[in-house]
Amino acid sequence: MAAELAMGVATGVERGRALSHLEGCHECRAYVAGLAEARDELLLLAPEREPAAGFESRVLAHLTRPAKPARWRRILSLSVAASVVAAAAGGSVWLSTRSDRQAAALLRTALERADGKYLGIEVLRRPDGTRAGHVAVYLGRPSWIFAVLDEGSPVGTFHVEIVTSPNDRRPAGTLTIDPERRGAGLVLPPGLGQVVAVALIPRDGGTPLEGRLPAPPS
């Protein structure tokens, strides 16, 4: 499984188990990292080919133009923002000015807006326990997350996995977090069931992050 992880071709439950193991095993993480470096060296085999005339100018023109997010990302950003505003309009932002009973009522209102059963913000932690950022999680219809990484935490594209039990991780899509905004959201697939944690796994290899949800009331 180490070689498949290093190649980025491991799939499904096996991948989830392997990643869980890597969280607690420095030796195996170093081994997989070494294999990934060997994989990257292989890419040098591809022969150099000059692109068509004007390629450099076209690339530089994109670099100097402000990036416009793809349409679906703009829609997602708006829908996530709308959900956050809806929750905030329920009063959850101003909890410090309310009594506990009023705060609980407002939070219940926020959850009801999208048939929700959970709304919370969890710390994203590295396997060694240090903080890397935080993730807002809403479980409802739909469920969504919005992750924000602290300054200094590597950004990039992450595979998002929903942990529903210690042995079950479900892929939920990808997030791309850029260095300027440092945050991005994702609508989760339906039918998740019990969610234990949200995991962000760097697509290019690197330290996985996890935000654990509190256990539901018994």
Q: Binding pattern to another protein, positions 95-134, x when CB under 8 A?
A: ----------------------------------------
Q: How many residues bind another protein (CB under 8 A)?
A: 46
Rounded to whole angstroms, the maximal C-alpha distance in the chain is 68
Half-sphere exposure of 146 (CA within 13 A, CB side): 17
Residue of 156, 164, 173, 213 interacting with another protein (CB under 8 A)? 156
| 39-58: contacts with another protein (CB under 8 A) | 39-52, 55-56, 58
Does 216 participate in binding another protein (rule CB under 8 A)? no
Of 59, 81, 104, 192, which lies in the binding site for another protein, with binding defined by CB under 8 A?
59
The stretch near another protein (CB under 8 A) out of 81-89, 115-123, 138-146, 148-156 is: 148-156
Tell me how crowded residue 213 is: count the other CB atoms within 10 A of its CB: 17
Stretch that binds another protein, among 69-77, 81-89, 132-140, 150-158 (CB under 8 A): 150-158
Task: Give whichever of 38 and 88 is closer to another protein, judged by the CB atom.
Answer: 38
Q: Please, which residue, 9 or 215, has the CB nearer to another protein?
A: 9
- Which residues from 71-90 bind another protein, rule CB under 8 A? none
Residues binding another protein (CB under 8 A): 1-4, 6-11, 33-35, 37-52, 55-56, 58-60, 62-64, 67, 154-157, 178-179, 203-204
